[in-house]
Amino acid sequence: MANSHLDRGGEDPLSPRKRPRQRRSAATVEVILDGAARILEREGLERFNTNVVAAVAGVSVGSLYQYFPGKDALMAALVRRDAARFAAEVEAAVAARPGEDWREAVSRLIAVAVGHQLDLPNLARILDFEEARLPLDEETEAAERAMLAAIIGVLQRGGEALAGLDLVEAAADLISLSRALVDAEGRKSAPDREGLSRRLKRAVFGYLTWEAGAESGLPNLNPT
């Protein structure tokens, strides 16, 4: 049910108390969320509470509570903001350029995935965990569908090179494959961005050219 996570007072603990309508109010919300993100990246969940967020953001606790009823609402807002930014980056990455080979768009998607996880690795890891913990299923599923559609759109440009693939299945597999490698690297104390990019390209293009290995310069190892 859409309102199953309302509290006893009828307030949704995951939604902002009010939406900023003026530029100044929107700026205040962004400052609060930036403060929350800094705490999570530098100190983790242990010190994540509304008092600390307000202090780091340089606003009063009262100002924070005007917009967010508690730390779960703050966390949900961070998850939503992160998802929106990632979606915008993906949209820009998949946009077709005149005369461009489809592999270039795939390479940009890989760069977006790596940057999203490793620019602020602690924050990214925490938001992944919190996204799964909080009841944001509908929003998460919508984001997954958008990501799937974006990748399918890129693969459709592959033409004959990808003719042997079920593009829907391939796009879903590439999401799972990339997420596994990126998340594993993000958990390391010293993530290797260049190494991750290289391994992701090897895995993604290896998968995509399995049916026609000559396209990637690899032998066709398909046993059938």
| Mean pLDDT (10-residue bins), the chain, 224 residues | 46 65 87 97 95 97 93 94 92 91 96 96 94 85 90 94 93 96 92 96 93 50 42
**What pLDDT, on the 0 to 100 scale, is given for residue 136?**
82
Residue 61 and residue 51: Cα distance in Å, rounded? Answer: 6
Max CA separation in the chain (angstroms) = 66
**What pLDDT, on the 0 to 100 scale, is given for residue 46?**
93
**What pLDDT, on the 0 to 100 scale, is given for residue 60?**
96
**What pLDDT, on the 0 to 100 scale, is given for residue 23?**
84
Contacts 24+ apart (CB under 8 A), 28-31: 28/59, 28/63, 28/67, 29/67, 29/77, 31/57, 31/58, 31/59
**What pLDDT, on the 0 to 100 scale, is given for residue 198?**
97
For each of the domains in the chain, give its residue range(s) and CATH number, in order of start.
78-224 (1.10.357)
**What pLDDT, on the 0 to 100 scale, is given for residue 57?**
97
**What pLDDT, on the 0 to 100 scale, is given for residue 1?**
36
CB 171 within 8 A of CB 155: yes
